[in-house]
């Protein structure tokens, strides 16, 4: 069959890759920006190693995941920021869950992700939105015609000792739709640099082995002093 638009088969193939729930679970887990072994992903999705291997092979062949072998281990990660952006955007466009979590543990995990998480290499959830909103209110970030860092914003990053040298084609800032808050948060080079700073400075810490993060008491004080964020809004 001949299609009027040559992109149609590629789009259909991509949609088919993400239409499987197990493969979707893998992609969402890898939004933490780290490499996982095939065994770790199998356990995370509660599927057999052979099932995981089949699904991971399809994701690698489809260009959504990149793999690296070290000894007997096979490590998988998202193929890049564009893939992470696509996964997060699609998750944000989906309909809200129809049923509440079935266990207290699942409910707690959902609350932790909604409060704060890494979205590939930048901050999302209430913490990410609070930072984005505070930067906008203080004139550090503009959202009127897409995201743009102001001169004051560049100076703010510089005062924190965060370099924004861009040696790649990656945009300095861009918006990323937050799937829990349904509003855009800060991504791009600046978003990644700020996320890295919050973790290295101890403003935020990871919770367990997943994507969830929380602000530390030191982080709450720092964000209040530098951006006027009230601690109660990110707890």
Ranges in the chain, pLDDT < 50: none
Confirm if 86 and 187 have CB atoms less than 8 A apart.
no
- Show Cβ contacts of residue 204 under 8 Å, excluding neighbours closer than 6 positions: 116, 123, 127, 198, 213, 214, 215, 216, 219
Tokens standing for residue 53: 């291997």
The pLDDT value recorded for residue 180 is: 81
Q: pTM of the entire structure?
A: 0.75
Report the DSSP beta bridge partners of residue 70. Answer: 73
Cite the beta strand spans of the chain per DSSP E.
Answer: 36-37, 65-70, 73-78, 117-119, 122-124, 141-142, 148-149, 174-177, 184-187, 204-206, 213-215
All domains of the chain in start order, with CATH: 7-79 (1.10.10.10), 104-234 (no CATH)
pLDDT given at position 95: 53
At 102, give phi and psi (nearest 5°).
-85, -15
Q: Which two tokens stand for residue 15?
A: 């949609």
CB 125 within 8 A of CB 113: yes
Q: How far apart are CA 173 and CA 164, in angstroms?
A: 10
- What confidence score (pLDDT) does residue 55 get? 96
Torsion of CA 181, 185, 187, 192, to 10 degrees: -80
> And the tokens for 91?
């998750």
Q: Report d(CA 36, CA 75) in Å as an integer.
A: 5
Task: State the DSSP code for 232.
Answer: G
CA-nearest of 226, 109, 120 to 178 is 120
The full DSSP string for 67-95 is EEEETTEEEEEES-HHHHHHHHHHHHHSP
> Can you say whether residue 101 is alpha, beta or left, with left for phi > 0 and alpha for psi between -120 and 50 degrees?
beta
């Amino acid at each position: 069959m001949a299609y009027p638009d040559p992109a149609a088969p590629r789009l259909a193939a991509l949609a088919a890759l993400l239409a499987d729930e197990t493969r979707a679970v893998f992609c969402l887990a890898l939004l933490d920006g780290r490499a996982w072994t095939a065994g770790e992903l199998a356990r995370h999705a509660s599927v057999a190693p052979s099932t995981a291997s089949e699904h991971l092979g399809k994701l690698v062949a489809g260009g959504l995941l990149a793999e690296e072998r070290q000894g007997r281990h096979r490590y998988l990660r998202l193929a890049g920021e564009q893939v992470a952006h696509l996964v997060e955007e699609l998750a944000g466009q989906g309909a809200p869950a129809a049923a509440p979590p079935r266990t207290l543990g699942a409910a707690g995990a959902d609350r932790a992700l909604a409060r704060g998480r890494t979205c590939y290499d930048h901050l999302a959830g209430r913490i990410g939105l609070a930072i984005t909103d505070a930067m906008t209110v203080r004139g550090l970030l503009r959202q009127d015609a897409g995201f743009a860092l102001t001169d004051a914003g560049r100076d703010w990053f510089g005062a924190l000792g965060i370099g924004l040298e861009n040696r790649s084609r990656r945009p300095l800032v861009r918006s990323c739709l937050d799937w829990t808050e349904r509003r855009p948060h800060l991504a791009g080079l600046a978003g990644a640099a700020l996320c890295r700073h919050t973790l290295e400075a101890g403003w935020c810490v990871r919770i367990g082995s997943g994507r969830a993060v929380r602000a530390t008491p030191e982080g709450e004080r720092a964000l209040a002093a530098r951006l006027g964020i009230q601690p109660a809004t990110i707890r």
